[in-house]
Structure 1
């Protein structure tokens, strides 16, 4: 199963200068709870921003990095062929965690969306690609003062 996990404001803003535009501990805790023990796939810049902040890959998860680079710092595993990777992982839940270009490549193939809707509006430079939420059914929601955690499943055609 291919799942996207993302936090965005109402304008679909997801980043500022290769980082999150906000800092909400409940959002970080939710991300950790949902992705722990799973495989996560990200782009090179997303991996570097995590590595530079933590000085390691995301702990407790298998970190796959979609890149043409030959080497990575830390424990990241390079993925050069996305189609082959997805075929090999089709029997497990893989979380797509960013950035924009990886989301863009996979939004139409995602089975599930874990969206943290940030209640405030922020400024930044990176936006989640446009998508049709009508293609998904809301299956779970949890509202907090700063954000709403929503899980959507793709509707069967």
Structure 2
């Protein structure tokens, strides 16, 4: 069992230079889009889309890993979260994103991973519910990753950060 710290910050997921990997809230084709996927692809450069072509498509709950290209991290882990109210069971699919990302982190012997709030943007997942699933799943799955030391949830706004911090404080 490892001693893993889970923290939350307000910031840009594409600018987490102190983390081994960042997680992309990807679309099924792993291509640039809006939100997190757009920011990560812009920061990583065109080589990321080229590498992703061979790994797509993915299904809700799945995760794949690529190099980070022009980003300072070693890897990008791409997760396809569920569209709330469409992909069911949404809670299990969302938990699968975090679990599968940690499996890839274990495989690569990573010490730190930064996550966005998967599925809470255009996919419509209610923030508090999504972050509750994220924190619970990360706490349950992280002990299986012996090298892992830090997990970070990177939130878009100060309000999102307050919600996340409240969840961490009460769990």
TM-score range (shorter-chain normalised) is: 0.3 to 0.5
TM-score normalised by L of structure 1 = 0.40
Higher strand share: 1
TM-score normalised by L of structure 2 = 0.37
